[in-house]
Every structure is written in C-alpha cells, then in structure tokens.
Amino acid sequence: MNVGLVLSGGGARGVAHIGVIQALEEFGIKATMISGTSAGSIVGSLYSHGHSPKDMLSIVSQATIFSSVRPSLVSGGLLRMDGLGQLLKKHLPDDFSKLKRPMTIAATDLKKGEMTYFNSGELVPAILSSCCVPGVFSPISFKGSLFVDGGVMDNLPVRPLHGKCDFIIGSHCNGVSPTFDVTNFLVVVERSLLMAIGANTLHSKNLCDAVIEPAGLDKFSGFDIGKAKEIFDLGYRYTKENLGKLNFDKILG
C-alpha cells in the first residue's frame, strides 16, 4: 500500500511532525511518499533521506533562530537563512534524486503569484524557498524566480500526492490560539500568516484520509525551537493516544 504523508508548515511547531512520525512507525505505518511546506519540508526531507525520528529531533534542535539566520542587506526582508542552509547541507544530499523516498516541497512563486511544487533538482534551495516567511526573511532567488513560504498558498500540500497514494495522512501543526498578546513584531507577522492560511488548509484536510492535529500546539510560537523536545513529546503522545479514533482502520487492519 502506498501511504502518503503530508506535513504542514508551522515553524518550531513542526517538530511535532517528528513525534507523529515516531508514533506512526511504532504502529507499523511508514510513508512511501511525502510532501511538506516550510517546517514540514525540513522534517519531510530528513525523513525521506532515512533519518530516524531521534536523529531528526537532534538536527532540528540545532536550528535556533539566532544561529540559523543572518541580517539581510537587501530589501524584501529582515533576515537571511544562511545558517539554516548550512545546517541542512550537513544532513541532506544536494539533489532530490538522492533521497530514499519521493519528496515534494511546496513554495510560493512571488513573480508568478502561484504555487510551485519542487520534486527534482537542487534540494536545499527548495527547502529554504518553502521556509521563507514573507516580511521576516528575504525572498529566495531560485530557478529564475523569487520564492517565499509555501504556506501562503498551500500550507498542507496534499495535492501533489492526491491520486498517487492509497491512503494519505495529513499532519497539521498550525492551529491558531484563541488568546493573543502583542509582544513583538515577529509574533504579529506569525499570527497574521496563521490566520491567512487557514482557508487553504481546510480544503487540504478534506483531501486527506486521516488528519493528525495534536491539541495544545497553539500555545507554542513558531519561533520556540528551544522547546523542541516538549513539542516532539506532544505530537508523539497525541498520536499514540488517538490513532484509533482517526480513521486509520484501512491501514491498521
């Protein structure tokens, strides 16, 4: 059975995907095809290359907001993701073709005003394109265009897998908290994006056979990478405790 795994964006909350994957594997469920946006593109690529959940947690825990970004000297954003690119190059191949599972990465093409789904060619620039939060990071110049976060138009990219898999699992970590305090500029940008992408995510959820959406993630900011282990544990526990309620009968037997 071809099992697709779709991983949403969500910044640091994307570490929950690793906990979800750990729990799925303990139930004997392994994805054969993966797609992801932003944080989901990082976790999905690492998983596609064969990294274990333990290894993935260790890798992403190194990606602090301070070590992974640099001030931008050009217009279009405040920061550049040079450090994140260097980290990814240490743990991932240079090309999609060298991954052990098919992987699709969603990014938003600023010039064309449309989605782009990368599944071949250079890998790390595609991931950075997908992770480029507009207004925070400078747009990524890649393949003759400029790209920003795929979540702007498709935060749960199920479309590339639709019709190719027998069962599609969506892992969504981008809920909007009912409480909000204006503490800094990044928090305002993040919440605005979360609200804007809600509509496209709802449609994508309906295309999945099962959706895992761990409760409690909304208390974390997308920049809370220092709480990676706590976020991982939340994703893991929720999946272990609720899989029987989430329409997995078809693949669990």
Residue 27 and residue 249 in contact, taking contact as beta carbons nearer than 8 Å: no
Residue 171 bears catalytic tag: no
Residue of 35, 38, 48, 171 with catalytic role: 38
How far apart are the C-alpha atoms of 18 and 36, rounded to whole Å?
13
The DSSP H or E segment spanning 235 is helix 228-242
Which residues on neighbouring strands pair with residue 167, listed in sequence order?
Answer: 3
Q: Is 38 a catalytic residue?
A: yes
- For residue 222, count other CB atoms closer than 10 A to its CB: 25
Q: Which of 48, 138, 149, 171 is catalytic?
A: 149
Instruction: Give me the DSSP letters along 159-225.
Output: TTTTTT-SEEEEE---PPPS-----SHHHHHHHHHHHHHHHHHHHHHHTSSEEE--TTGGGS-TT-G
Question: How, if at all, do strands 210-212 and 167-171 pair?
Answer: parallel
- The DSSP line for 104-135 is EEEEEETTTTEEEEE-SSBSHHHHHHHH--BT
Angle, helices 39-48/124-131, rounded to nearest 10 degrees: 150
Residue 149's nearest CA partner among 192, 106, 182, 203 is: 106
Which positions are catalytic?
38, 149
